[in-house]
Amino acid sequence: MLVMDRPRFREVLDSIPSYKPGRPPAPGALSSYKLSSNENPYPPLPGVMDAVMRAAASMNRYPDMAVVELHARLADKYGVVVDQVATGTGSVALLYHALQASCVEGDEVVYAWRSFEAYPIAVGLSGATGVTVPLTAGARHDLPAMAAAITDATRVVVVCTPNNPTGPAVHRAEFDDFLAAVPSRVLVVVDEAYREFVTDPDVADALTPAKERANVVVLRTFSKAYGLAGLRVGYAVGPAPVIDAIRKCSLPFGVSSIAQVAAAASLDVEPALLDRVDALVRERGRVVNGLADQGFAVPDAQGNFVWLPLGDRAVEFGGFAQDRGVAVRPFDGDGVRVTVGEPAANDRFLEITAEWRAEGEPTAAAPEYATTF
C-alpha cells in the first residue's frame, strides 16, 4: 500500500479546539434572540452607514495601510501621539500580535481563569505556555496571585477588565499595587473590550499607565459598545516601542477601508453612542435585579453581559434557553454568559430563568458574590 505523506502541523494545534460559533437560536421558536456573543443589539450609529456606503464605492483599492485618519482620531481622543496607537482586525488580533511579538517556545503568559476563551488559543499559538490563575470567589481577578505567578520565563500578563465572561472590573487600588509588583520587563496587556459599559466608580484607569509606563498596553474595540463587530476593528494604546512591535506583526492591509471609515465615523457621534451604552447599562441593571429577585447569585456585571454561575448545570441551562428561543453561551461545568440585548430579549431571558427556577433548585451550590448592582 502506498503511504502518502501529508502536511504536518505544529503539535500545539492538537490542544486547540476547533472553533465553535455562538449557536443561533432554534429555528421555529416564536421569537428568537441571540444573546450568546456579546453583540450590540442596535443597528449602526447615525452617519456610519453613509460613510460605509461611500467607502464601499472604492473597494477596488487597498485600504490605507498606515490607517492615517483613524490613528489620528484615536491619538487625539486619548491624548497620545499616533506612534502610541495601533489598529487591528478586532482587538483579538492585537492580542495575537502582542503575543507573537513577545513570545517564543518556553515563555510563559499569565492570565486569569475563567476568562476570555480566546486567551488559551492565542497563547498556545504564540508558542508560549499559559499559566492560569483562578478567579477569586467573587469571580474577580486575583491580581496578587497573578503577580506572584510571574517567573523569569514570563513575558506577558493579560488582565481582562471587565472580565469576560464573569463581569467584574479590576479596581484602581489593586491594579496600582499589581503594576508596582510586575517587573518592567513583563508586558501587561489590559483587555478593556467592555470599558464603555463600566459604571463601577472604583474601576482601574489603565490608560494612564499605558501612557506613562514602558510595559502597559490597553486593548479596546469597536465591536461591542460601538456595534461594529461585523467590520472587525479594534485598537491598542501604549508605549511607542510596544505599538511598533505590534504593528510589525500585523497582517498588511488588515483593517479594511470600510472598517477604518466606519470607526472614524463612529467617533464623530459619541453622544449617540453614549445614549445607547446608557440604555444597555440600564437594561443590565434590570436583568441583574431580576435575576437577584429570582434568587440567582450574579457577580458584579460591568460589561454588556451577565454571568450565571450554574456549575454542573450550565450546559443544561444552555439547552433550556435555546429550546425557548434564546441562544446563550454556556461554559461546561462552570456557568452561562448571557448578553444584555434589546428589552424584549431581556424580558424573554428573565421569563426563562424564572421558569428554570420554578423547575429546580439550580443555584444551591452557587458561591456568594459581593454585588454592587
Ligand X SMILES: *Cc1c(COP(=O)(O)O)cnc(C)c1O
Q: Which of 80, 147, 186, 193 touches ligand X (CB under 6 A)? A: 193
Nearest Cα neighbor of 160 from 204, 214, 225 is: 204
Q: How far is the CB of 229 from ligand X (least distance, A)?
A: 6
Binders of ligand X in range 254-293 (CB under 6 A): none
Contact 194, 304 (CB under 8 A): yes
Tell the smallest beta-carbon distance from residue 225 to ligand X (Å): 11
Query: Between 263 and 345, whose beta carbon lies closer to ligand X?
Result: 263
Query: Cell triple for residue 61?
Result: 483599492
The residue from 108, 191, 196, 300 that contacts ligand X (CB under 6 A) is 191
Q: Which of 40, 223, 260, 266 binds ligand X (CB under 6 A)?
A: 223
- Minimum distance of ligand X from residue 305's CB (angstroms): 9
Judged by CB, which is closer to ligand X: 215, or 221? 221
Q: Minimum CB separation from ligand X for residue 154, in Å?
A: 20
Does 92 sit near ligand X (CB under 6 A)? yes
Cα–Cα distance measured from residue 219 to residue 31, given in angstroms and rounded to the nearest whole number: 35
Shortest CB 315 distance to ligand X, Å = 20
CB closer to ligand X out of 276 and 357? 276
Contact between 164 and ligand X per CB under 6 A: yes
Least CB distance to ligand X at residue 160 (A)? 5
For residue 152, the one-letter residue type is D
Tell me which stretch binds ligand X (CB under 6 A): 44-52, 220-228, 267-275, 292-300: 220-228
302 binds ligand X (CB under 6 A): no
CB of 311 to ligand X, least distance (A): 22
Applying CB under 6 A, the span of 86-94, 176-184, 209-217, 320-328 interacting with ligand X comes to 86-94
Residue 38 lies near ligand X (rule: CB under 6 A): yes
Question: Which 3-state string (H, E, C) describes the chain?
Answer: CCCCCCCCCCHHHHHCCCCCCCCCCCCCCCCCEECCCCCCCCCCCCCHHHHHHHHHCCCCCCCCCCCHHHHHHHHHHHCCCHHHEEEECCHHHHHHHHHHHHCCCCCEEEEEECCCCHHHHHHHHHCCEEEEEECCCCCCCCHHHHHHCCCCCEEEEEEECCCCCCCCCCEHHHHHHHHHHCCCCCEEEEECCCHHHCCCCCECCCHHHHHHCCCEEEEEECCCCCCCHHHCCEEEECCHHHHHHHHHHCCCCCCCHHHHHHHHHHHHCHHHHHHHHHHHHHHHHHHHHHHHHCCCCCCCCCCCEEEECCHHHHHHHHHHHHHCCEECEEECCCEEEEECCCHHHHHHHHHHHHHHHHHCCCCCCCCCCCCCC
Q: Which is nearer to ligand X, 39 or 83 (CB)?
A: 39
Q: Using the rule CB under 6 A, which residue among 25, 90, 290, 335 binds ligand X?
A: 90
116 binds ligand X (CB under 6 A): yes
- Count of residues that bind ligand X according to CB under 6 A: 14
The answer to the question of residue 120 lying near ligand X (CB under 6 A) is no
Taking the complex as a whole, how short is the minimal distance between the CB of residue 40 and ligand X, in angstroms? 11
99 near ligand X, rule: CB under 6 A: no
C-alpha cell recorded at residue 170: 479590576
In the complex, the smallest distance separating the C-beta of residue 285 from ligand X, rounded to whole angstroms, is: 20
Of 36, 91, 136, 256, the one binding ligand X (CB under 6 A) is 91
Give the Cα separation of 28 and 9 in Å (integer): 41
Distance separating alpha carbons of residues 152 and 108, to the nearest angstrom: 9
Binds ligand X by CB under 6 A, chosen from 87, 126, 154, 221 = 221
- Residue closer to ligand X by CB (options 73, 232) is 232
Residues at the site binding ligand X, with contacts judged by CB under 6 A? 38, 90-92, 116, 160, 164, 191, 193, 221, 223-224, 229, 234
